[in-house]
Structure 1
Amino acid sequence: MRVGVVIPAAGIGKRMGSTVSKQFLDLAGEPVLIRTLRIFDSHPAVGHIVLAVREEEQEAVESLLARHGFDPGRVLLTKGGEERQESVFQGLKRVNAEWVLVHDAVRPFVTQKNIDELLKAVQETGAAILAVPVKDTVKQVSPAGYVEKTLERSRLWAVQTPQAFSRALLLEAHAKGAQADLPATDDAMLAEALGVSVKVVRGDYANLKLTTPEDLVLAEAIWKMRRSADDQSGTRV
């Protein structure tokens, strides 16, 4: 299976409240981005990774990748856009594979097992995403701040990444989305707009996206928990 990975990493992350872009923040001694990249760089199905970064950060990212031993022929850089959607589209154009995974730069805890299950599903359907059932009761609220209705929790899932697609399908979805000026918070929305059925693969609650300062605290706890479990089993993180 020939798989390319697109990782949009051109965001600033205003909600993190840091002067440093959140993908470069430290997690247990290494930048979050490096920990995320290692997951895919070590997966046997992944042929190459395209990293979309801000133009002014490209030189610094090249140096960072070199320091951590990444092959420049395997981890490719491209110019990111103002919005995530544009960054993914630019990265997608550089993918040379039948299948593509799109993953958030600041989700450093996705597992190899999750990726395996997602790749199996996408070969059957052409589009598949990771998600987990919502734990909390969810209310639909009016602009004025009043509850309009309570949504049926048993049918609600919180979407994660990576998301997996046929490259040809996702290219068409992004092209038509750009043409129609259709805003999308994830790539599955663009596939859905084509009428594509997207398969949901159950993910892991630990597959956290680092968005706010509180998430960094949770990330450190997840890292320590996994490190402890790996030490006990004799494997490495």
Structure 2
Amino acid sequence: MCKITAIVLAAGTGSRMKSKEKKQFMKINGKPVIWYSLFQFEKSIVDEVILVTGEEDIEYCNENIVKQYNLKKVKHIIAGGSERYESVYNGLKKTTGDIVLIHDGARPMLNQKIIARCIEGAKKYKACVAGVATKDTVKIVDKDKKVVKTPQRNSVWITQTPQAFYTALIKKAYAEMIKSKESNVTDDAMVVETYGDADVYFVEGSYSNIKITTPEDIEVAEVLLSKKESI
């Protein structure tokens, strides 16, 4: 039987929100941003959830989120690092599943279909990421913002989370990255692309699977979630 772990990252400071309250704890339709993805994993086939947050927020998460909303699949609440990759690595050390999904807690629009596609993608490919094809033409520019290249639109995808992997694969890739002291990575797929021994594939995400980064994103998420709940 394949055991599945989800790591949910909620250790960011959210400086671009221009708020004293961290974005993962801000309310959308009366519930914390982080609750939405935790709830989706709670009702999925995922076996365990590891919540990674700031050390100073561990007790808050335990009392005001995990206990308050009766999230039984959250088995560990641990401290993250100063960088995203450190938070992921800390989560991987606690992971016991054969497959691990790594998700940004600031993406509250996660749903069961995306989770299922990521799990199946990991089983099939060993490494996959949720994403969508870009709707816009993308330009590659140099440091002076001069256009260098215009890639074909059908070859450009926007990367989201969850990103799902064989646990042994992503653990080994992260260990190699840490050993190399190279930290210029922007997502987990990049770690596998650089230090792993498997190709990374896309599975279908959703254009609604936005990341909360600015105050405007909260307003958009409120509208999207209101529509979702009314269906």
State the TM-score bracket (shorter-chain normalisation).
over 0.9
Residue of structure 2 in register with 1:235 after alignment: none
Residue of structure 1 in register with 2:144 after alignment: 144
d(CA) in 1 for partners of 2:126, 2:3: 14
Residue by residue over 1:180-215, the C-alpha shift from the partner in whole angstroms, topping out at 9 and shown as x without a partner, is 213211100011112421121111101111111111
Bigger shift: residues 140-149 or 114-123: 140-149
TM-score by length of 2: 0.94
* 1:100 correspondence with 2:121: no
Q: Percent identity?
A: 36
Residue of structure 2 in register with 1:29 after alignment: 30
d(CA) in 1 for partners of 2:94, 2:185: 21
Residue by residue over 1:34-92, the C-alpha shift from the partner in whole angstroms, topping out at 9 and shown as x without a partner, is 1110000111x211111111111111111112122223x73311110001110011011
Q: How many residues are treated as equivalent by the alignment? A: 227
Q: Which amino acid aligns with 2:23?
A: K
Residue by residue over 1:145-184, the C-alpha shift from the partner in whole angstroms, topping out at 9 and shown as x without a partner, is 3222222211000011101101100101111111221321
d(CA) in 2 for partners of 1:152, 1:201: 19
Preserved CA contact (<8 Å) 2:36 2:110: no
Residue of structure 2 in register with 1:234 after alignment: none
Residue of structure 2 in register with 1:211 after alignment: 213
Residue of structure 2 in register with 1:222 after alignment: 224
Residue of structure 1 in register with 2:114 after alignment: 114
d(CA) in 2 for partners of 1:168, 1:56: 30
Trace 1:188-203 onto structure 2 (pairs within 5 A): 188-193=189-194, 194-203=196-205
Preserved CA contact (<8 Å) 1:4 1:46: yes
Alpha-carbon distance, 1:27 to partner: 0.6
Task: Could you list the structure 1 runs, at least 4 aligned residues long, displaced by more than 3 angstroms after superposition.
Answer: none
* 1:123 correspondence with 2:139: no
Residue of structure 2 in register with 1:172 after alignment: 172
SS in structure 2 at match of 1:40 = helix
Alpha-carbon distance, 1:130 to partner: 0.6
Residue by residue over 1:11-46, the C-alpha shift from the partner in whole angstroms, topping out at 9 and shown as x without a partner, is 101112111111001011000111110000111x21
Q: Which amino acid aligns with 1:199?
A: Y
d(CA) in 2 for partners of 1:93, 1:80: 12
Q: Which amino acid aligns with 1:168?
A: A
d(CA) in 2 for partners of 1:131, 1:138: 16
Residue by residue over 1:217-236, the C-alpha shift from the partner in whole angstroms, topping out at 9 and shown as x without a partner, is 1101101111221xxxxxxx
TM-score by length of 1: 0.92
Unaligned 5+ runs, structure 1: 230-237
Preserved CA contact (<8 Å) 2:139 2:150: yes
Preserved CA contact (<8 Å) 2:127 2:199: yes
Unaligned 5+ runs, structure 2: none
